A and B are shown apart, each in its own frame.
Chain A
Amino acid sequence: MVMQPAPAPVAMQVEASHADWHYRVGDTAVFAVRATRGGAAVADGRVVVQYGAERMRPMRTDTVMAGRDGMRVRAALSTPGFLHLTARPIDGTADATAMVTVAFSADAAGR
């Protein structure tokens, strides 16, 4: 009997459109979400993307196809604070979750 090696796990990457992760209220953040396995894009994997103001009820939770070129997610906050976005393979563990937390008018947070 020949044992097949276990497939490499799916890895997620999330990149915010502003390199410093800072936005102003009124801006829309755009997140590039990609799923890869062994460095190659996973086109047919299903991914759960969730975002919202941190520690608040999520604004959206979507299950989407990863796509060969990844996907774009647009999100914004209407008040100063931080928006937290996670992406994970639908059958992945918490370890497979990629996250990014971006600021919206951080200099006015709490005021």
Chain B
Amino acid sequence: MPQVDSARYAIEGGSQGGALTLVGAALDARVKAIAVTHPAMADQLAYRAGRAGGWPHIFEDTSRLALMPQVTRTIEYYDAVNFARRVRVPGYYTWGFNDLTTPPTSMHALYNQVTAPKELVIVKEVGHVRTPAQARAIREWLLRQLGAGN
């Protein structure tokens, strides 16, 4: 597509889109920057360690761990933390502490594994939503990363 400048290519998303943003950045070297809002699918097997895992909470009932060994092996690959470790581009991360869908325990477990340049903005009272202010900040940050900011 001629209207696409593939040298300045960023992705962003929230929740499942946040997880997919990390997958895209980890697997596609064209991505120059990312923004991740309240990522889902993070640290999903954490329940076996006695802490909150990420949405969709398949193993919140830990009896499922023994019943679904193939699923646990598959999740070890598809977990968003696995892709967060592989991200090599700057990232803007933002969420709230009152998120009842994607627990902050799981999101910080993910964030703590990112070794690429990163910025975390907590809007502590916020739940599983993206506020207009967060959306504006993401857009401005991504444009700056791509050399298109004002």
A residues within 8 Å of B by Cβ? Answer: 20-21, 53-56, 79, 81-82, 99-103, 106-111
- Asked if residues A110 and B46 are in contact (CB atoms below 8 Å), the reply is yes
- A110 / chain B contacts, CB cutoff of 8 Å: 43, 46, 51, 81, 105-106, 108-110, 112-113
- Asked if residues B109 and A20 are in contact (CB atoms below 8 Å), the reply is no
Interface size on B, residues (CB 8 A): 21
- In chain B, positions 96-127 with a C-beta closer than 8 Å to chain A are 97-99, 103-106, 108-110, 112-113, 124
- Asked if residues B124 and A21 are in contact (CB atoms below 8 Å), the reply is yes
- Asked if residues A107 and B112 are in contact (CB atoms below 8 Å), the reply is yes
B residues within 8 Å of A by Cβ? Answer: 43, 46, 50-52, 57, 60, 81, 97-99, 103-106, 108-110, 112-113, 124
- Asked if residues B104 and A101 are in contact (CB atoms below 8 Å), the reply is yes
- A101 / chain B contacts, CB cutoff of 8 Å: 97-99, 104, 124
- A56 / chain B contacts, CB cutoff of 8 Å: 50-52
Least CB distance from A17 to B in Å reads 14
- Asked if residues A81 and B98 are in contact (CB atoms below 8 Å), the reply is no
- Given A81-B51, A82-B103, A110-B105, 15 further pairs, Cβ under 8 A: A21-B124, A53-B52, A55-B52, A55-B103, A79-B51, A82-B97, A101-B97, A109-B51, A109-B105, A109-B112, A110-B51, A110-B81, A110-B106, A110-B112, A111-B112
- B46 / chain A contacts, CB cutoff of 8 Å: 110
* CB nearest to A108 among chain B residues: B112
- A79 / chain B contacts, CB cutoff of 8 Å: 51
- B106 / chain A contacts, CB cutoff of 8 Å: 110
Least CB distance from B141 to A in Å reads 21
**CA of A99 to CA of B57, assembled, Å:** 21
- A54 / chain B contacts, CB cutoff of 8 Å: 52, 103-105
